[in-house]
Amino acid sequence: MDLSGWIDTFLDHLRVERALAKNTLEAYSRDLNSLAQSLGEVTDPKEIGTEQIAALLVTNVRTGFGARSSARQLSALRGFFRFLVRERVIEADPTQLVERPRLGKRLPKVLSFEEIERLLAMPDRTSPRGIRDSAMIQLMYASGLRVSELCALKIGDLDMKAGIVSAFGKGGKRRLVPVGESALAHLTTYLEEVRPNVARPKETILFVSPRGGALTRQGFWKLLKRYARAAGITTPLSPHKLRHSFATHLLRGGADLRAVQAMLGHADLGTTEIYTRVAQDHVRAAHARAHPRA
């Protein structure tokens, strides 16, 4: 089997055995196929050495790749070649001696409490679309869902009586996240007054478009940006920034780091710890404003 064939086999392994999300699989495919394209006539994995891997990364940097993109690609390549070692296609991993690009710790950008309040107040709750939009934004901020998780929610994933949403996250893992009373109230209005009049028969997706089918991630992103502009939020706003804000505001309010990790669905506590730095920055700023000898 040639290199392209082994790439397809590895992607099948990730999809079936590890149940990776579609977007993650597409990123792996792009990173691995760029290696195949750069090698040209080299189609045997046994012929690929450290020099070819390093040359690809250098070329990518020259064409505009940042450190994070290079690190992501190297991670994909390492996973692929370790797979080939396990399958006994090659004897050694050629990426072992390639240094990982140094990444600066970039703190997540979050909205202030005041900006969140303005954003939540923007949808027109006298219109069906505004009621739906309000329920989505309220739920996303209340539970820290990823936009893909929000748009994939089904009616059965929401337990209104218990105040819990069941999210299907990365790696095919489900987690239960509490939903606050404010978000539940907006969801109740949406479920009682809007969805029954819009959703197609037998549609199980929770949030539907005016045509009655599932609302896309891109559709939610567009409406969120529109409300952000109307709320006077000048910094770029993405759905993920709501997730960042959810985590940071919980920690500022005294939430336990492990609890926040569970609600976000992070496998590694270190991924969640980045939010503590943002929360601490808020505390330091408050000290600087208020303490007489700051």
Query: Is 200 part of the annotated catalytic residue set?
Result: no
Full residue range of the structural domain in which residue 10 is found: 3-86
Q: So what's the pLDDT on residue 165?
A: 92
Query: Is 240 part of the annotated catalytic residue set?
Result: yes
Question: 40 and 185, same structural domain?
Answer: no
CATH number for the domain spanning 48: value is 1.10.150.130
Query: Is 244 part of the annotated catalytic residue set?
Result: no
Catalytic residue among 15, 72, 154, 240, which?
A: 240
Q: So what's the pLDDT on residue 135?
A: 96
Residue 104 lies in a domain: no
Catalytic residue among 28, 141, 146, 195, which?
A: 146
- Nearest to residue 266, comparing CAs of 173, 196, 204? 173
Q: So what's the pLDDT on residue 283?
A: 46
Q: So what's the pLDDT on residue 286?
A: 47
Catalytic residue among 132, 241, 243, 244, which?
A: 243
**Alpha carbon separation from 147 to 14, 94, 191, 221, 241 (Å, rounded):** 22, 36, 20, 8, 10
Question: 57 and 184, same structural domain?
Answer: no
In terms of Cβ atoms closer than 10 Å to its own Cβ (0-12, 13-18, 19+), residue 262 is middle
Question: 282 and 168, same structural domain?
Answer: yes
Residue 108 lies in a domain: no
Q: So what's the pLDDT on residue 119?
A: 95
Question: 212 and 281, same structural domain?
Answer: yes
Q: So what's the pLDDT on residue 275?
A: 66
Query: Is 141 part of the annotated catalytic residue set?
Result: no
Query: Is 129 part of the annotated catalytic residue set?
Result: no
Residue 96 lies in a domain: no
Query: Is 170 part of the annotated catalytic residue set?
Result: yes
Question: 129 and 28, same structural domain?
Answer: no
Per-block mean pLDDT, blocks of 10 residues, the chain (294 long) = 88 86 86 83 79 82 74 87 92 83 64 91 95 95 89 94 86 82 95 95 93 90 93 87 85 78 73 63 50 46
Q: What angle do CA 172, 93, 13 make, to 5 degrees?
A: 25
Question: 244 and 134, same structural domain?
Answer: yes
Catalytic residue among 170, 175, 225, 282, which?
A: 170
Q: So what's the pLDDT on residue 272?
A: 65
